[in-house]
Structure 1
Amino acid sequence: MEYRYLGQSGLKVPALGLGTGTFGGQGPLFSAWGQSGADHARRMIDICLDAGLNLFDSADVYSDGASEAVLGEALAGRRQQAIVSTKVGLRTGSGPNDAGSSRQHLVSAVEASLKRLKTDYIDLLQLHAFDAHTPVEQVLQTLDALVQAGKVRYVGASNFSGWQLMKSLAAADRHGLPRYVTNQAYYSLIGRDMEWELMPLGLDQGIGTMVWSPLGWGRLTGKIRRGQPLPEQSRLHQTEQFAPPVATEHLYKVVDALEAVAQDTGKSVAQVAINWLLQRPTVACVLIGARNEEQLQQNLGAVGWQLSAEQIGLLDDASAVMPPYPYYPYWNGQFSELAPPAVRSSVRTL
């Protein structure tokens, strides 16, 4: 397993982490993802640790907290071997303070997560969404108190826009409060929006990216092919309503390119899609998911090799879309020399 620094935190994380949305299996969304109980989760974690994957990511809303509970039980007796990441901030109950980043909610949410995870500290706590009703200074002060108390070691964001993340970083610098070391974001060959603003921001501010849904909500697993119906066993039948829309022809264009590269490399379509992400700027860790051991072993095969420049170019061209204003000048070549070097070298003229 390859290990990378998580932003400028000094913390090294594996290039692949395990997303535990498949643990617990409660509710219409998460039951479609997977229904791993503690015994199955323990076996999955055994495989991960043997492969050098020691980061496990959860959230208090995954299966109404059951994901954290299963993860905590599965890690019993080996907590020190793991980097535990979880997220708080989305609604977890019907009460007026059961959502957001107020001090009231953050403190109670962290205490509840610690109890479910059966641990006295969280390695990486990420805010699951930006709370526009709570001043960023108060949010950061609360996170600082949790760090000082030893309950949290690093803090990060998830699903923030560029201005929301930058406002938080500026406040942290101004007041000497903890900076977010990571941004957990959706990124895939059929969802490259992160490149428009969040990637340049990450390069400029030293923020590491943790990628969720690297296979585009299951569309890049290799089961979807041009001219063929969606397989009956695909979880997209149950979760497509939650997934961002993708134009059919664009999806097939990307899948065609993935299949060509997969045939050329002898790897699977999913492995190629994940490997492409691992070579993108700012990406520190790609979170993989798996409902069974076979899927997990397949995804673990995405590391230990690299796509060639020609193969990356083929995938870049097939997946490229024109960004909206004001980002498109970087992509159409008009002002590409003004973009950060890592971004300039990673984008291709349309």
Structure 2
Amino acid sequence: MQYRKFGSTGLTVSRLCLGTMTFGLQTEEDASRSIMDKAADAGVNFIDTANVYPLGGTESVAGRTEEIVGRWLKGKRDRYILATKAVGKMGPSAWDQGASRKHLLDAIDASLKRLNTDYVDLYQLHSDDRDTPLDETLEALDTIVRQGKARYIGVSNFLAYRLARALGRSDVLGVSRFVSVQPRYNLLFRQIERELLPLATEEQLAVIPYNPLAGGLLTGKHRHDAVPSEGRFTATVGKAGEMYTQRYWHEREFQTIEKLKAIAAQTGETLAKTSLAWVLANPAVTSAIIGASRAEQLSDTLAAIDLVLDPEVKAKLDEATVEYRWGDAPR
């Protein structure tokens, strides 16, 4: 395993981070524990979760993932960097979601209880709550840090201009500053290269991208004309399946994957391993978030840490996917 400084902080994390959003729905607890065991054995010391996980479940199962992670961490909490997130809907009341002071202060306490710990290393906004003033959110997060319930704070799914504004407001207010950003990033979604990644580099923010394999599409195992029987594109994972289908299940993406398969085949590496190595090759990326529904699925992704792409191969991958820098409309 390789390790890297977490942005401008003094923290060091593994270059692969274990994502847990399938734990408790798509992946039962025994399998989830096996996945965490395998990642830990490979040197992964960074675990990412969220209070709304497992993704695709109803409000009634929200929090189950944190509980599974908390039970696994018992007796070894000090050996891992633990990250969780809040903002998503956690209950029936109007204030059971969002980035208001009330919700965030309630949410961190609930997460800590489920995770069976006194603190998380990284507390992140899962998305941007436009209905709550940034100042209120930032001051609430600062309270959480000052109370010792979180060591650092970060964001996920933020547009570059909103993150830039939040950084500016935190400087003006003299409160804790975001140290990381967790965006979606892979060969089929490269829009963040235009503004978010340059901002992160300039502000020395850690970048921990999720979906490096596009929900499994970049394993190359799926066909556009065949409905998958398992994984993130199925109806069994509820709204999550719909979300992933809308993101990636299009003819253009499958045509691109055929090009990527041919490039990977020239190197003798799998498409999954090549795709993850491409994400890690970006100097702005600190740690890529990998996931699995079975422990054996981690073999390829864990091995990607040692794959250094030949510059010519990386150039071919860049060229084959350049249109994904611009969103839905090819240019």
Does residue 51 of structure 1 match 2:52? no
1:70 aligns to what?
68
Aligned pair partner of 1:35 in 1, 23, 27: 27
Instruction: Note closer, same or farther for the CA distance 1:54–1:95 as it changes in structure 2 (3 Å cut).
Output: same
The structure, 1 or 2, with the larger RCO (C-alpha pairs under 8 Å, 6+ apart) is: 2
Structure 2 residue matching 1:147: 3-state secondary structure? helix
Task: Measure the CA separation in 2 of the matches of 1:119 and 1:4.
Answer: 25
Does residue 161 of structure 1 match 2:159? yes
Instruction: Note closer, same or farther for the CA distance 1:198–1:237 as it changes in structure 2 (3 Å cut).
Output: same
Read off the aligned partner of 1:58 and give its amino acid letter: T
Does residue 61 of structure 1 match 2:52? yes
1:341 aligns to what?
none
Task: Measure the CA separation in 2 of the matches of 1:95 and 1:278.
Answer: 41
Instruction: Note closer, same or farther for the CA distance 1:170–1:237 as it changes in structure 2 (3 Å cut).
Output: same
Instruction: Note closer, same or farther for the CA distance 1:322–1:220 as it changes in structure 2 (3 Å cut).
Output: closer
Share of identical aligned residues, percent?
38
Map 1:224-243 onto structure 2 (within 5 A): 224-225=222-223, 229-238=226-235, 239-243=240-244
1:96 aligns to what?
94
Q: Structure 1: give runs of 5+ residues left out of the alignment.
A: 26-33, 329-349
1:219 aligns to what?
217
Task: Measure the CA separation in 1 of the matches of 2:326 and 2:41.
Answer: 44
Map 1:5-44 onto structure 2 (within 5 A): 5-25=5-25, 34-37=26-29, 39-44=30-35
Map 1:309-324 onto structure 2 (within 5 A): 309-321=311-323
Q: 1:248 deviation in Å?
A: 3.8
Structure 1 stretch displaced more, 40-49 or 89-98: 40-49
Task: Measure the CA separation in 1 of the matches of 2:154 and 2:194.
Answer: 20
Aligned pair partner of 1:258 in 257, 260, 271: 260
Instruction: Note closer, same or farther for the CA distance 1:324–1:254 as it changes in structure 2 (3 Å cut).
Output: closer
Flag as ranges the 4+ runs of structure 1 deviating above 4 A.
Answer: 322-325
User: How many correspondences in the alignment?
Assistant: 318
Map 1:279-318 onto structure 2 (within 5 A): 279-318=281-320
Does the 8 Å contact 1:189/1:254 carry over to 2? no
Aligned pair partner of 2:181 in 180, 183, 204: 183
**Any idea what the Cα deviations from partners look like across 1:151-198, whole Å, max 9, x if unmatched?**
100100011111110111001112221111111111111111111221
Task: Measure the CA separation in 1 of the matches of 2:252 and 2:283.
Answer: 23
Does the 8 Å contact 1:253/1:319 carry over to 2? no
Instruction: Note closer, same or farther for the CA distance 1:35–1:240 as it changes in structure 2 (3 Å cut).
Output: closer
1:339 aligns to what?
none
Task: Measure the CA separation in 2 of the matches of 1:7 and 1:291.
Answer: 29
Q: 1:301 deviation in Å?
A: 1.2
Read off the aligned partner of 2:243 and give its amino acid letter: F
Instruction: Note closer, same or farther for the CA distance 1:118–1:322 as it changes in structure 2 (3 Å cut).
Output: closer
2:59 aligns to what?
none
1:3 aligns to what?
3
Read off the aligned partner of 2:277 and give its amino acid letter: N
Task: Measure the CA separation in 2 of the matches of 1:19 and 1:78.
Answer: 18
Structure 2 residue matching 1:186: 3-state secondary structure? coil
Task: Measure the CA separation in 1 of the matches of 2:229 and 2:99.
Answer: 40
Does the 8 Å contact 1:199/1:281 carry over to 2? no
Task: Measure the CA separation in 1 of the matches of 2:222 and 2:48.
Answer: 27
Task: Measure the CA separation in 2 of the matches of 1:180 and 1:311.
Answer: 35
Task: Measure the CA separation in 2 of the matches of 1:263 and 1:257.
Answer: 10
Q: 1:44 deviation in Å?
A: 2.0
**Any idea what the Cα deviations from partners look like across 1:79-102, whole Å, max 9, x if unmatched?**
111111000011111101101111
Aligned pair partner of 2:271 in 269, 272, 275: 269
Q: 1:221 deviation in Å?
A: 1.4
Q: 1:246 deviation in Å?
A: 4.2
Structure 2 residue matching 1:301: 3-state secondary structure? helix
Q: Structure 2: give runs of 5+ residues left out of the alignment.
A: 55-61
Read off the aligned partner of 2:285 and give its amino acid letter: V
Task: Measure the CA separation in 2 of the matches of 1:45 and 1:4.
Answer: 20
Task: Measure the CA separation in 2 of the matches of 1:88 and 1:167.
Answer: 20
Structure 1 stretch displaced more, 280-289 or 107-116: 280-289
Instruction: Note closer, same or farther for the CA distance 1:123–1:21 as it changes in structure 2 (3 Å cut).
Output: same
Task: Measure the CA separation in 2 of the matches of 1:80 and 1:245.
Answer: 37
Q: TM-score, normalised by structure 2?
A: 0.90
Does the 8 Å contact 1:41/1:74 carry over to 2? no
